[in-house]
Amino acid sequence: MKRSKIKGKWIWGVLSTTLAIIFLFSVKMTAVYAAEGERECTIVIPVSVEMKGNAGNIKSEVFEYALEPADENSSTEAVFSEVEVTQEGITKGSFKEMRYTRPGDYKYTVYQLKGESKDVIYDGSVYEVTVRVVNTQEGGLATEVWAVKDQSDQKTDEIKFINQYKETTTATTEAINNTIHHTTTNTITKSSIGTSSPKTGDKSNVMLWGGIAILSGLCVFFFIFEGKRRKTEE
């Protein structure tokens, strides 16, 4: 009888301890999930553009860049960034802030949208950007960011595009000016050397000698005709 009571108490104690452990574990897990749900980190991805060449009369130019998710884990709407260049040099911009609540690798593609300016050669490079979200020792989240340009093996922390102004305006103007100057010089030289206007005195002499030649011809003709006529009469 005593053994049955002891056995019953032992079983009840084991069950109570097990239930208590399960309860405490479930409470702890709930607290952990709640903490993870509250954790978050944010990041802003910068982008820059460098202009080379002579801008000429262009006072400002706006360039647009796109950031798109590269896989399902990184699913988000495509975002865009505009960078305005008001003078030759490097100008920086950034995409809107992105928020993360779970560790993992998030991959994106960044490229430049080709503009409509005929005076600019647009950089067609494509960057593969990786945002790695990791746990910190303090229980929070942190990010590591790097990019790879045009599928190369080298990582970079800079997303930079280099656009080139076409140097056609100045070159074309100089070429036209040189052509006009060269053509004008040749025309003047040929006119001076090739032909010249006759002087007034020279023109009078030509007419005088022409008249004398005509009269001489008439006289010769008259004498020949008169000689033949006399022979006929004889």
Task: Answer yes or no: pTM beyond 0.75.
Answer: no
Does any domain span residue 188?
no
86 and 16 in a common domain: no
Q: How far is CA 14 from CA 2, 8, 23, in A?
A: 18, 10, 14
Domain with 124, as residue range(s), is 41-169
pLDDT band with cut points at 50, 70 and 90 for residue 200: low
In a domain, 165, yes or no: yes
How many structural domains does the chain have?
A: 2
In tens, the pLDDT along 128-140 reads 999 999 999 999 9
Asked if residue 208 belongs to a domain, the reply is no
Do 165 and 69 belong together in one domain? yes
Nearest by Cα to 47 from 165, 144, 162 = 162
Given a cut of 80, is residue 198 above it in pLDDT? no
- For residue 211, what pLDDT is reported? 73
* Domain match, 17 and 115 both: no
C-alpha to C-alpha distance for 148 and 111, rounded to whole angstroms: 12
Residue 27 confidence (pLDDT): 38
Bridge pairing between strands 46-52 and 160-165: parallel
Tell me, yes or no, whether 118 lies in a domain. Answer: yes
Q: Please tell me whether residues 108 and 158 are part of one structural domain.
A: yes
Tell whether 26 and 50 lie within a shared domain. Answer: no
Are both 162 and 53 inside the same structural domain? yes
Contact 93, 129 (CB under 8 A): no
- The residues near 127 (Cβ < 8 Å, ≥ 6 apart) are 109, 110, 111, 147, 148, 149, 159
**59, 113: one domain:** yes
* 33 and 146 assigned to the same domain: no
CA 202, CA 214: separation in Å to the nearest integer? 19
Q: What percent of the chain has pLDDT over 90?
A: 38
Residues 92 and 139 in one domain: yes
Least-confidence region, from 13-27, 77-91, 105-119, 154-168: 13-27
Domain boundary among 169, 202, 223: 169
Amino acid identity at 134: V
Tell me which of 27 and 142 has the higher pLDDT.
Answer: 142
Please tell me whether residues 123 and 7 are part of one structural domain.
Answer: no
- Average pLDDT score over residue span 152-181: 74
Residues 81 and 121 reside in one and the same domain: yes
What is the predicted pLDDT for the residue at 218? 74
Decide if pLDDT at 180 tops 60.
no
Same domain flag for 33 and 46: no
Position 30 scores a pLDDT of: 35
CATH number at residue 50: 2.60.40.3050
